[in-house]
Structure 1
């Protein structure tokens, strides 16, 4: 047996997140949920995501945060404040702050994420990684050389049904080799929440939180 430990992954994992404050997160869940319930679901989704990220080998794990850290933040993460501006600007700045080595960014609203979905990212020889969302957006985006790729994100129209197509086209047009990750569903509406909860792993905080709200309503 080789007594030497395996070399650490060079990957930086980023989670772009908003502090789960009632009235500021997941507003499309209200109704049927109250702002407090929507914030509780957002917190559960974020917590599931962060604990999944902890299971993936990485050089750094960073929460790119709008707001302040709370008890939902486990040890093992750096916290970086989001810059001002549109989402494209905030994503670009997050990548440009990564330094050298590959980086992958995910959102906070795909609690069904598993480590296996990100297998090979940062080590498969590709220039970029792209995770499409079924609403036309994307749930993951990564670059082998993130510090030089902000221009590929700035100017992409966000929160439309063409966002993902435009972003992926940018990557291909720039001559990058792109690895496509599986399509996932974001949690935006109550129907999304129910569908995503059904696909979460056993022990999911998000599925438990949604189930608790359903029991109270019943």
Structure 2
């Protein structure tokens, strides 16, 4: 589906290349650097698989620091994602960049993190439909952040004064959105998989992840 004859609505999946000592570091030393990288790769593939199946528009993997990483290249080909490098800056700068180019080109865009491989399939499809109807949508995270954001307009101050990696991120985003007259449709709260207790929870939901705790 397209909006007003524009290009299909894109979703940008933000991810780091799954390199030891660079990903899932908050799970170390309880998880080795190699296991942390393996976990990150598995979570990324699970997310890409779901997006590939349930997102009707364009799919872009916005990665850092090295888009030539073999795992990224393989997964992008397998699940038909366009691969591009993240810009430098904090999370707000990275999201602003991809959302801006998506909205200019397609009239709407979504950005998704790779820390919620358990995201329900319907959330992905519903996000696309919300954007097609001109609605903004957000997926709150249990830790006070958000795992997904879909917009059809991009107010200048949408990410202003947000203290990233704190429990106030989502509240700050909502406050900024309200000041720009944006009302979000909200998806269910999901748990980011960042710490070892999060992995233990995920392994209880999905036995495939138990191997990382063995």
Q: TM-score range by the shorter chain?
A: 0.7 to 0.9
- Give unpaired runs (5+ residues) of structure 1: 1-6, 201-206
- Matched position secondary structure for 2:175: helix
Deviations 1:125-179 (A, max 9, x none): 353111110001110111023xx34641254221100011101221122101210
Residues 171 and 190 of structure 1: CA distance in aligned 2, closer, same or farther (over 3 Å): same
Alpha carbon RMSD of aligned pairs, Å?
1.9
**Structure 1: distance between partners of 2:117 and 2:192:** 9
Name the structure 2 match of 1:109. Answer: 115
Name the structure 1 match of 2:33. Answer: 35
**What does residue range 112-131 of structure 1 map to in structure 2 within 5 Å?**
112-124=118-130, 125-131=133-139
Residues 175 and 129 of structure 1: CA distance in aligned 2, closer, same or farther (over 3 Å): same
Deviations 1:45-96 (A, max 9, x none): 0000000000113221001110223433324111121000111111111111
Name the structure 2 match of 1:193. Answer: 199
1:88/1:155 contact within 8 Å kept: no
Match of 1:85 among 51, 73, 89: 89
- Give unpaired runs (5+ residues) of structure 2: none
Q: What count of residue pairs does the alignment treat as equivalent?
A: 200
Higher helix share: 2
Q: Provide TM-score, normalisation by structure 2.
A: 0.85
Residues 198 and 85 of structure 1: CA distance in aligned 2, closer, same or farther (over 3 Å): same
- Matched position secondary structure for 1:105: strand
2:14/2:62 contact within 8 Å kept: yes
